[in-house]
Structures are given as C-alpha cells and as structure tokens.
Amino acid sequence: EAQVTQNPRYLITVTGKKLTVTCSQNMNHEYMSWYRQDPGLGLRQIYYSMNVEVTDKGDVPEGYKVSRKEKRNFPLILESPSPNQTSLYFCASSSDRVFTGELFFGEGSRLTVL
Amino acid sequence: RKEVEQDPGPFNVPEGATVAFNCTYSNSASQSFFWYRQDCRKEPKLLMSVYSSGNEDGRFTAQLNRASQYISLLIRDSKLSDSATYLCVVRYNAGNNRKLIWGLGTSLAVNP
C-alpha cells in the first residue's frame, strides 16, 4: 500500500529536549516536505527536499533541521524544542517529475512542548 | 491580505443540499489550483484539481475564474460523509520549489 508513515504520532516533551520525527514514504517520490498546521494559520511549509541530499527552507524553518540521506526518509529534527513549536506536523511527498499538485500526506504527528 | 482566502464557515446543510464554496487568491502568477479535503484531526487529501475550463467529478464541480482570481467548489446532493474541512490550495513556482499556498479551509457539516 502506498503510504507516508510518520512517527511518533503523538509526543509530549519538555523545552530543550532534542527530538526527531521520522517520515518514510514507499512511493519512490523525489519531493518531500514538512508542514506544520496551527489554528488560524493553516498549513505552513517548514522544509522541503527535491531529492536525496537536496533540502531547502520553506516558510517557517527556524528551530528545525532536516536531512535527506535516502530517498524514502526525511526526518524532522527539533534540536531544542520550545513551546511555540507545539503543533500538528505533517510530512508529505510527491512525484517531482510530474507534479500534479497531489501531495501524499502522513497521518500527522501531534507535538506538545511543555 | 492573505494570499488565499476562504470563508471559514461553518456551513451547516441538510443531506441532499447543494453547497458552494469560494476561494480568492492574490497572486496573479498562480499557476495551478486544487481543492483538498481534511477530516477532523486527519491528513489533507486531494479532492480535485481545478482546470481553467472547469471540471466535474461526480457530485463535485470546480471552477476557476482567473480574471477575478477566484476558485469555487460546488457539491451537489450532499452526503453525511461530505462533512469535512475543504482547503483551497494555489500553486506557483518559486525557484525550485513548487510553492503551495493553503487557505485556512471552509468547514462543512452535513446534517441528517
């Protein structure tokens, strides 16, 4: 089954404790992206990757890091989480060769930073 | 002014009703347009792309008006399962990035 898998789905952590949210897709997609979704602000792009070893900032990259060492994986790293990073996070992927606008999303990771 | 604006609703309609949502966008360089559906606390999923000539998929019809910079979604014969938030999405190229700008969504509740 074609899917984007994120882990963990739910996490409560404390300020400053480094964490990683993993994302993996099995569709051989070249394009991957991380979004956060907040009430009143909608979906905002954090980082994106056009292919292996190619990453770039989206609209709200501060406080986040990503890496793309393999095509299927695109982890999101919060080196020192702060309460303003409490949010619902989505990883998404798409075929870059023919970008139809369809992004395939993971089920989301709800993060709370105390 | 937001780049993509939608009426947040909620729209409360009875089963079988026809309901229409509008979405306006500000960037005239926008190239592609989409409607996504998001169920409560779930991930967004593509409902349909919006083509210049308008397009239909079953009970759903999407229209694009480039001159007035708005997109519409019409749902006929609403079902209970249509209850969700509908997100308007606009794409334009920004360097290497396929820049997608998301509306905040319009909430629809279809009642028995």
Give B13-30 pLDDT, tens digit per residue.
999 999 999 999 998 887
Residues of chain A contacting residue B104, judged by C-beta atoms under 8 Å apart: 40-42
How far is the alpha carbon of A29 from chain B, nearest alpha carbon, in Å? 14
Q: Identify the pLDDT of residue A9.
A: 97
What SS3 class is residue B79? coil
Task: Decide: A15 and A113 in contact? Cβ < 8 Å.
Answer: yes
User: Does the distance separating the beta carbons of A100 and B44 come in below 8 Å?
Assistant: no
**Which pLDDT tens digit goes with each residue over A7-49?**
999 999 999 999 999 999 999 999 999 999 999 899 999 999 9
**Whole-number percent of chain B with pLDDT over 70:** 96
Q: Identify the pLDDT of residue A100.
A: 63
User: Does the distance separating the beta carbons of A58 and B32 come in below 8 Å?
Assistant: no
Distances (CA, A) of B21 to B45, B61, B112: 17, 11, 20
Task: Decide: B97 and A54 in contact? Cβ < 8 Å.
Answer: no
User: Is the CB of A102 inside 8 Å of chain B's CB atoms?
Assistant: yes
A·B CB contacts under 8 A: 47
Q: Which of A56, A88, A105 sits opposite B96 (nearest CB)?
A: A56
**Which pLDDT tens digit goes with each residue over B73-90?**
999 999 999 999 999 999
Distance of alpha carbon A24 from alpha carbon B24, whole angstroms:
34
Look up residue A17 and give its two tokens: 């404790």
Q: A69 φ, ψ to 5°? A: -90, -25
Mean pLDDT of B36-53: 92
User: Is the CB of B57 inside 8 Å of chain A's CB atoms?
Assistant: no
Q: A48 φ, ψ to 5°? A: -140, 165
Residues of chain B contacting residue A31, judged by C-beta atoms under 8 Å apart: 98
**Which pLDDT tens digit goes with each residue over A59-95?**
999 999 999 999 999 999 999 999 999 999 999 999 8
User: At residue B31, does pLDDT exceed 90?
Assistant: no
